[in-house]
A and B are shown apart, each in its own frame.
Chain A
């Protein structure tokens, strides 16, 4: 009977080795199908270590199960009183150590490959906001925000009909108004920061997850090998809407990418023109007045000479810097993050002039 058990364990162990790669198709039991070299390496590392763990599990718990069945008082087994055996103890310390080295070597190679953000074809700056993502294509001068596209009523509808609607809804919670579009086969360097709290930009199929940290810049990279739409989510708790700031990356053929880029450039230009049509006074009345109107949190009031004088003495560059990057209670750009720098500077001049 016992030999049969052992035989079954051996079969199970062998099966674990062959079955695991079979999960590679889009599976709800495993990592999503990898779409980049790095994601593939992560996938293979996970499979390797999982199989090793399964084998160890079967051996160790096979022994334990055997002991539980055979060495019980109810079957009349008498306890032997042996303990301590230096040889055995050395073996079960050294062998796991060697297995670990076997795991560490391929893992170390992947770590180094993941860190290599050199020579990108394209650089995208990702900014985390509570609760949406901002994207800037740095060389191309394209900027946009990307928010959840699933309607709120769809999420909060508690009627039985609402549940049915969600079930039939494609990409529930995983769709955005403006996806990130990248060309297939190009190395994309992603640099990340955040505006308020820590977020994390995660696209499982591309094998990248990187925290976006306010005040700091981090980078990572990916190269999508196949055209497709890859979906992910914010992976660092960032407040109440944390579950509702998805990420969608569309990898397209270079020609399609060029067309998309063209459209985006026009849109960005139109946006700039729209904000360009705002004059500093309009900016003040829309954004700055909330604090600088009443002197909230130590903000100098518009036209308050006494308050402005020492500040103006610091020189316009300091004032610009504080306005653009934030200072004490003041958020960067006074919270008007999408306005061009030049307009912010002009608004600073307007405020300073009013106090002279």
Chain B
């Protein structure tokens, strides 16, 4: 009945007849609504994961066991990782994809609108399973977010809940990716060839292929853990002819592309923001596309650099070291391109630009430590130390998260029809930047000096830097409340009315729509010349 009405109204261009209240959100098949749902979900999980990080940093504030039992500390580190990766960062980028891809390619919606609804609504139950695992006997998974066997086969039922949650989130990601690929390949406006697509769309196209390729691999790995745990199989149990190291190979064959899944859309956002605020076209569009593709392809042949200490043959170590070092080339091309785009531009530094430039600066530091870690002998010294913790937070927080902030401030005026509070945004940027570095920069020193990661207590020589890192972490966490305040203010219409194109240098299709855009946009496709 509702369907018939909608079809009927469609002809008259009136689209206000969707359910109201909570059912609007439960039943929605609109890419903008679903994008909003993803972003709110992600923000919620970001604060859940952040709360766990507070627990970690509180325990590590001083030597000694102050707050938690060691096993609960392991639950905190594990769940912080799982929730931030699968609950916060990945859904945030899918939220951006939902909002932006149809508007940027001139499509009316995503290709599979109902599947889109289903992809999103799988996530809240999965997140619930993850959080509930804290309350079952034996507690939440405590084997690290990498859930290495055979440690993960020792865990209580919390691990099973975690495995189911990952299965569901993986299914959601695969469906979301198929939707994105189909939308991009089939629904571009006339005249928009692949090489005319905005870079954000390109990076998501490549990311979606990565997701389709590796999420089933993760599903395989965790299913084998599940059957080892309950059905007497011995995939990873040496006593039964299995191999514990095989788990790591399978996990990291997923895990390394996963790292790029979390950074390529960030590259895309930054590649939209920098030209807009430099008022100058992206320096090397084609080479950016090729660099992104090269990174994606290389990501499939470097996984064992996470496993140099497992004791692979010299030939294996050499191969994975060379392949990993190669990634520095396309990554360098990207950084050089952004800087060449800024060069001789006419730059202004509103909050999105601040986060984008901050991204380049701090992400590159994570890139450099990545290169240092690629050198096998050095990696063997630094593997599983705080140096690695510093490295991946430089690329995931200063990289992915800062790009998410840049994108949010960039598109908020379009999404809500109101400008965000610029002063608040700048405070958010500067406090995040300072506290981020205060938290994670000292961790390089801790790792070099020999502090292992995932320990609840540490030797005295590590005390000073841990205290600094903890102070930084509390500051960073609290600074994020400014972000929530800014977004809420903007969404409630506190700011000035946003023009259709609030950014002088922005030139993609979404800026030709009104702010906020109509509920159904581009029903008649625009023509791209």
Contacts and interface: CB of A to CB of B under 8 A. Distances in A.
A160 B452 CA distance: 26
Contacts of B286: 84
A264 to B, nearest CB: 27
Given A31-B381, A79-B345, A235-B309, A104 B325 contact: yes
Given A79-B345, A171-B459, A115 B450 contact: no
A100 B242 CA distance: 38
Nearest to B331: A96
A72 B346 contact: yes
A50 B368 CA distance: 8
Interface stretch (B1-9, B174-182, B314-322): B314-322
Contacts of A115: 313-314, 317
A53 B285 contact: no
Contacts of A327: 239
Interface stretch (A57-65, A179-187, A266-274, A344-352): A57-65
A239 B325 CA distance: 33
Interface in A15-70: 27-32, 38-39, 41-42, 45-46, 49-50, 53, 56-57, 60-61, 63-64, 67-68
B377 A243 contact: no
A308 to B, nearest CB: 22
B383 A209 contact: yes
A71 B461 contact: no
A89 B456 CA distance: 47
Contacts of B240: 328
Contacts of A61: 361, 364
Nearest to B242: A215
Nearest to A47: B378
A313 interface: no
Interface in A150-193: 155-158, 162-163, 166-167, 169, 171-174
Interface in B20-65: 62-65
A329 to B, nearest CB: 9
Interface in B325-347: 325-326, 328-329, 332-333, 335-336, 339-347
Interface in A311-328: 325-328
Interface in B265-291: 278-287
Contact of B151 (A104, A158, A198, A243): A198
Interface residues of B, number: 96
Nearest to B372: A49
Interface in B237-254: 237-240, 242-245
A88 B340 contact: yes
Interface string A74-111: 10011111111100110011001100100110011011
A290 to B, nearest CB: 18
B492 interface: no
B172 interface: no
Interface residues of A, number: 102
Contacts of B527: none
A231 to B, nearest CB: 8
B34 to A, nearest CB: 35
Contacts of B283: 82-85
Contact of A238 (B151, B238, B239): B151
Given A77-B344, A83-B285, A88-B340, A240 B376 contact: no
A72 B348 contact: yes
Given A45-B375, A209-B381, A79 B280 contact: yes
Given A28-B449, A114-B380, A100 B460 contact: no
B281 A83 contact: yes
Given A29-B445, A31-B449, 19 more contacts: A31-B381, A39-B381, A42-B381, A46-B375, A67-B342, A79-B345, A79-B505, A81-B280, A83-B341, A107-B377, A110-B377, A172-B63, A173-B459, A202-B452, A209-B309, A213-B311, A214-B238, A240-B71, A242-B74
16 contacts: A31-B448, A32-B450, A56-B368, A60-B364, A63-B339, A68-B347, A71-B344, A92-B336, A97-B329, A107-B376, A207-B377, A214-B238, A220-B311, A233-B452, A240-B71, A242-B454
User: Which 3 pairs, one residue from A and one from B, show the smallest C-beta to C-beta distance?
Assistant: A215-B238, A243-B455, A218-B311
Interface of A: 27-32, 38-39, 41-42, 45-46, 49-50, 53, 56-57, 60-61, 63-64, 67-68, 71-74, 77-85, 88-89, 92-93, 96-97, 100, 103-104, 107-108, 110-112, 114-115, 155-158, 162-163, 166-167, 169, 171-174, 196-198, 200, 202, 204, 207-211, 213-216, 218-220, 232-244, 325-328, 331-332
